[in-house]
Structure formats: structure tokens, C-alpha cells
Structure 1
Amino acid sequence: MGGMSAVIDNPAGTFSVPIIDISPYTGGGSASDRAVVAAQIDDAASSVGFIQIVGHEIPIAVIDEFTAVMDDFFELPLEAKKAYRTPPEINRGYAPPKSESLSLSLGVEPADRMNDFFEAYNVGVEATAYPELELPEDQYASNTWPAVDHFEAAVSAYFAEASRVAHTLTRIFAEALDLPPDFFDGYTDHSLDVLRMNNYALPPGEIELDGELTGMGEHTDYGIVTVLWADQVRGLQVLDREGTWHDVAPADGALLINLGDLMARWTNERWMSTLHRVKPPIVDGTIERRRSAAFFHDGNIDATISTLPSCVGAGSRYSPITVGEHIGAKLAGSRAGQSNPYARREAQRVRQAMRRGLGQQ
């Protein structure tokens, strides 16, 4: 299945997100089989920046139980959900609609600042998971678990599976980049990982359908790699190199994978962190429900990310930065409304895309 692609037809041509079977890494394949997968990942990461993977071996029962408790939480009344809010600097708990703006994580000012209409719930790795390390408790914060039956157990089970997949992917990345197999281990052995559960449906009358709604503003992901489970409902859009947005939905049983800014820095943009957004799927004047869950594998907070020697070429486009500095600036943008001073290259790309994309919305 490694040679297949999910193809979406559009007026500007054909855009495809490759489907890659990673079972040679998860199920025990030969060295030659793994090398084929690594080459496919390298090609997709260099050309598209989004990938679909099958052969990830997350049990269907784990996904079903996880999505069921997501539904149970998001079906609670808004005021009940707001009881689980945390301060903007704590990337945990509930985020109600229009309390964030992902485009600010790139330093791009939206017309109506905090205007993303999705709601979300975040959990992540806690400092207590690494008692031998002195990790900052604001970034490795304790989780807030809602009073929903089986929520903590089901979410924790999926979190563990998504983490396994992310670590498998970094092993594949190492081979694809001609690095030692364990290269990324020293950067991710207390990784700042967060699982964000997203809901794109709102009760009737809570929002005006004026054609300018932003489900989730254009952004790149912040860390190393994102493992995304999503409904097969249109809404997610990916920007190609020509500045055209394309609808992307996962194939049956597939997870969507995209690279984050830290991987773009590491590889000096040999691999790109691809711009994407979510537009509200509107059917007959109402928003069709869409759910997703993004596992962000961001790396150790104290790790310094510098361009890989094999990717420097004529010179590095990026100065070294720690994971903590990078993620902190990103979150200050999306959650606290502070424009990101470290995202000049990414912001320039967004603005160019906005200009090219006029009339393509």
C-alpha cells in the first residue's frame, strides 16, 4: 500500500497526500522493507509535508472508546465545560470557541483576533512522569480530567498509542535522513507531548454563518511531528507550494501525519512544516460536525534544535533555539494573543499564500 495516494480533484490540478504503510516498522519487516518506507517518507516530507499512514496498529477498540468519551465531553453544556478552563499559559483543559487564534502563532494578525470557532480539550505529559528531572510544572502541567465516565482511562489509552506511533515515526525519520536509528531519542526522552481533542460543531444560533468563519486559522504545527486522527468530513485544508488550498480527509483506517516547525528547522527546510487550516463544513446553512484529535510530539523542553550537518548546505536558515523557547512563543500567540517574534519565515509564507490565494477561498 506504500505506493498509493489519496487524490483530491480540484480546478488547479491534482493534489495528493501519499498513503504509506509503516508496518515494516510496527510489525517487524526486513531492513530492505524498512528502507523502502523511509524513502517514501523522505519523498512525501520533501514534496507535500502531509502523509497518511496505515499499518500503525492502533486497535480499533482503542479509537472507538476514545472518540466515544470525546463525544460525551463535548455534548456537555457550555457552562459545564468552561469549569475545566485553565490560564492561557497552561496548555491543558478546555478551550471554548473563539478563545484562540492559530494564525497568531505565526505572528500573523487576523482581522478579528481570537476568532477560531473550534472548541478543544487538551491533556499532556506531566512533570510527575519524570520524577528524576526538574521539569517546569507550567509546561509539564498536571492534567485536568472532566467528570465524564471512562474519560481519563480511554484518553490515556489512546495517548499511549499515539505516543508509540510518534516515536516509531522518528525512527523512520532518522533512517530517511541518514542518521543513527536512535538519533532523536536524546531529544524526545521527556518530550513535551500534548493531545488536543477538537470539536467543530456548535449549537444552533451561537454563531453567524457569514462566509468568513474560521474553524481553525492557517498555521503550521509547532513541534517535531503531529499524529492526527480525524473524521472523514471535509474541512481540513492543506496549502501546496503554488499557494492553493486543498481539501484533505483521511482514507479508511489512516492517520494523517504532518511535520512541525522544529523538523523544518532541523532539516533546513528539506522537509517542510506545511501550512494548514480548517474551514467550517457548511451544509444547507448549518455547520456539519467534524472531530479531530492531534497528538503533538514536540521534543524535550531543554533540547536545542540546530540544523543537521547534512542539511546545512550553503548555510542554515535558522538560528538554534530550544524547544521551550519555540513552543512558548507559539502558545503565547495562539492562546494569549501575543504575536510570535520567532516566526518571520513562516509568517512571510502565510502572507504570500494569502495574496496568491485571493479568489480561491
Structure 2
Amino acid sequence: MEESVPVVDFSAYSLDRESPDPEHFQKLIDDVHQALTTIGFMYLKNFGIPAEMISDAFTTSKRFFQLPLNEKMKCAGPEGSFYGYHHMEKEGLNPRRASNDLKEVFGCIPIEGTSTVFPEEELPEFRKCLTDLFHSAILLEYRVLEIIARGLKLDDPFYFTDRHKLTGTNGNMTSIRSLYYPSLVNVDIKEDQVRCGEHCDYGGITLLFQDTQPGLEVKNVHGKWIPASPIEGTLMVNVGELMQRWTSDKVVATEHRVLVPSDQIEHERQSIAIFGNPDNEVSIECIDGSNKYPPTTIIDMLNMKFEQTFGYNPAKEDPGSS
């Protein structure tokens, strides 16, 4: 039987619940642990974020990406910034590929005082829709982190969540990125060019909302690429390299990519990702005390990864002035 990304029912600890359902809680813990220690990806269903909130974020994001390029460029971040607007082929997540990715991006840390420019006149609801989804997703992230800690049988089930307390402030670099993959009917696609190059996420855990279009693939432990196409009513959760390091390789960060299916070339595609990270000053040390990896911080990890991939250090920027 061909391996696939597992679907995990989160209803035992959905955001709709004030506390876990004791009857089904252990199964949820076991299912999440199995998924994240094997393939590093899982679909979550029944997670509790309102469908309307997700839909609004997608709708306003699409309106933003359909603005004229000169309007979108007013929202571009400074050169070398990870935030703001990035036009198509600006970014290439796999530096081994000769051509950059066929996608557009708008990213931000939605905190008070951020200098990331939003299209306030053309699309005043854009900031609110992204911010609302960000804050709901963070509440879900905290619950997923608790589940991961329980699956690893840590003495403190809130070990990870207690190290994410500053999310949504200048002391934490958790961010939201809206990604748009335009129709490629009139685009000169270069040899070996893809919508999003092969990469592992860099930080803690990622929550990914997809629209209905396929293209996402995940590399399993056998080195085979398997589809991670959208499933209605679910979101995707995956592990970043920092979390793998933090857990001494017990949970795994997995390479993934977005291709251009030959039968989908005319279709637009959207996704929205929340890249969850621990607080900036937290020392990341192997939780089992093995010292398999030397201590680091999310800032140092992002500096290293962005230099490897892009040749610059956006993590050195003050999130409040990104």
C-alpha cells in the first residue's frame, strides 16, 4: 500500500473545547506522535478555526495578488526582507535550482507597530483578515505543541508552549505568509522551474491552509515524493528543522515542494502558512539532554538558514520594523 500523509482528527482537543476529551485524548496524542515521528506531516480535521475566517483570508489575499503590480510593489519590504510583498521569481527556496519559484508572497508578523506596508486604501480588510487568522492559528499551535510534548512523554506537557509565550510581540518571530501561484498559461516556464522549490521549514511547526488545487508533495523516509493534495475541511501541520533539532531527531522535518501539474497549468493556486517559532531569547537545547546538537536560538537558526538559501539575514531585523 502506498504511503500517504495521515489525517488526524483533532476533535478531542479542538479550539471548540475548553479542555481535552479524556476518552479520545490519548488516541490524538498517539496519532500526532506517529505522524510527526515518521513522515513529519499530517492533515488535521475538526480543529475548530471557523471556515469563514479561513475563507475571508483567502478571498482578501487573492484580491491583493490581483492588484496591479505597481500597487503591490508599494507593499514590498526592504531588500533582503522576508516580509512584505515578493513578486514572482523573486524567491527560490531551493538554491540548487537554476530558476526561482513561480509564486508571489505577502508575509508579515502582525504585531502592533509593524512597519510592513499593507494596501490600506485599496484593500483595507486585508490586514484584519490575516491578523484574525494568525491569532486563531496560534491558539491551535499551542495545543499542537502540547500534544507533541505529551507524545514525547515530557515531564512538563507545556514545555514547548511555555517557550512560545511572546508570540504576537516583538519577542517572537512567528509569522504568516500568504502565497499565490498564478496561472502559468502565458508564462515562459524555464527548464526545471517549479512553483516552490524543495525545502524543509526552518523553525518550530508550520500550520498550512491550502485551497483546492493540488501540487504540494512531501518526501517520505524512503526518498519518494508523495502527494499532499488539499483535503476539504483540513489544514496541514509539519515540523521545522529547529523542532527536529530540539527533539534530538525524534520528530522529523521533511522536504516538500510545489510542482506545476501539467493538467493544472492554467489554474491559480493559493495557500496560507503560519510559521510557528519559539521566543527569540529561548535557548534551544536537546530535550533528552543528549547534546546531540549544540544549543542555539531561533534567531541564530534563521540567520544560518536564510544565509544558506537567500544570502541575507532577515532574522536580524527587528520584527516590529520589518
TM range (shorter): 0.7 to 0.9
1:55 to 43, 46, 55: 46
Identity of aligned residues (%): 26
Deviations 1:3-39 (A, max 9, x none): xxxxxxxxxx612111111121222333342221111
| 1:155 corresponds to 2:130 | yes
**8 Å Cα contact 1:174-1:181 kept in structure 2:** yes
1:133 is aligned to none
Deviations 1:50-82 (A, max 9, x none): 100012111111112111101110111122211
Residue 129 of structure 2 aligns to a residue whose secondary structure is helix
2: CA distance, partners of 1:48 / 1:161? 26
Residue 85 of structure 2 aligns to a residue whose secondary structure is strand
| 1:143 corresponds to 2:116 | yes
1:197 is aligned to 178
The alpha carbon displacement at 1:330 in A equals: 2.1
1: CA distance, partners of 2:190 / 2:308? 25
Over 3 Å counting, the alpha-carbon distance change for 1:183 and 1:36 in structure 2 is: same
The alpha carbon displacement at 1:88 in A equals: 4.1
What is the correspondence of 1:160-175 to structure 2 with a 5 Å cutoff?
160-175=135-150
Over 3 Å counting, the alpha-carbon distance change for 1:299 and 1:142 in structure 2 is: farther
Q: Which letter does structure 1 place at the counterpart of 2:5?
A: V
Over 3 Å counting, the alpha-carbon distance change for 1:326 and 1:110 in structure 2 is: same
The alpha carbon displacement at 1:124 in A equals: 0.9
Residue 14 of structure 1 aligns to a residue whose secondary structure is coil
Residue 282 of structure 1 aligns to a residue whose secondary structure is coil
Over 3 Å counting, the alpha-carbon distance change for 1:337 and 1:280 in structure 2 is: farther
What is the correspondence of 1:7-22 to structure 2 with a 5 Å cutoff?
14-22=2-10
What is the correspondence of 1:240-279 to structure 2 with a 5 Å cutoff?
240-279=220-259
Q: Which letter does structure 2 place at the counterpart of 1:37?
A: L
2: CA distance, partners of 1:84 / 1:280? 27
Over 3 Å counting, the alpha-carbon distance change for 1:333 and 1:99 in structure 2 is: farther
2:163 to 187, 196, 203: 187
1: CA distance, partners of 2:53 / 2:257? 27
The alpha carbon displacement at 1:301 in A equals: 1.3
Q: Which letter does structure 1 place at the counterpart of 2:250?
A: R
The alpha carbon displacement at 1:202 in A equals: 4.6
2: CA distance, partners of 1:100 / 1:171? 33
Gaps of 5+ in 2: 167-171, 314-322
The alpha carbon displacement at 1:166 in A equals: 1.0
Q: Which letter does structure 1 place at the counterpart of 2:89?
A: K
Residue 76 of structure 1 aligns to a residue whose secondary structure is coil
What is the correspondence of 1:67-216 to structure 2 with a 5 Å cutoff?
67-104=58-95, 109-112=96-99, 115-126=100-111, 141-147=114-120, 148-179=123-154, 180-190=156-166, 191-202=172-183, 204-205=185-186, 207-210=187-190, 212-216=192-196
Q: Which letter does structure 1 place at the counterpart of 2:137?
A: A
2: CA distance, partners of 1:331 / 1:146? 27
Over 3 Å counting, the alpha-carbon distance change for 1:99 and 1:337 in structure 2 is: farther
**8 Å Cα contact 1:162-1:295 kept in structure 2:** yes
Q: Which letter does structure 1 place at the counterpart of 2:181?
A: Y
The alpha carbon displacement at 1:235 in A equals: 0.8
| 1:23 corresponds to 2:11 | yes
Over 3 Å counting, the alpha-carbon distance change for 1:100 and 1:334 in structure 2 is: farther
Deviations 1:91-114 (A, max 9, x none): 22101111112124xxxx3334xx
2: CA distance, partners of 1:88 / 1:33? 49
1:136 is aligned to none
2:272 to 293, 314, 320: 293
Q: Which letter does structure 2 place at the counterpart of 1:85?
A: A
1: CA distance, partners of 2:277 / 2:256? 18
Deviations 1:147-190 (A, max 9, x none): 31311111111111111111111111111111212211332112
Residue 304 of structure 1 aligns to a residue whose secondary structure is coil
2: CA distance, partners of 1:126 / 1:151? 14
Q: Which letter does structure 2 place at the counterpart of 1:34?
A: F
2: CA distance, partners of 1:157 / 1:33? 29
Residue 209 of structure 2 aligns to a residue whose secondary structure is strand
| 1:304 corresponds to 2:283 | yes
What is the correspondence of 1:34-53 to structure 2 with a 5 Å cutoff?
34-53=25-44
**8 Å Cα contact 2:176-2:273 kept in structure 1:** yes
1: CA distance, partners of 2:21 / 2:184? 51
Over 3 Å counting, the alpha-carbon distance change for 1:125 and 1:326 in structure 2 is: farther
Q: Which letter does structure 1 place at the counterpart of 2:174?
A: D
1: CA distance, partners of 2:21 / 2:259? 42
What is the TM-score when the length of structure 2 is the normalising length? 0.87
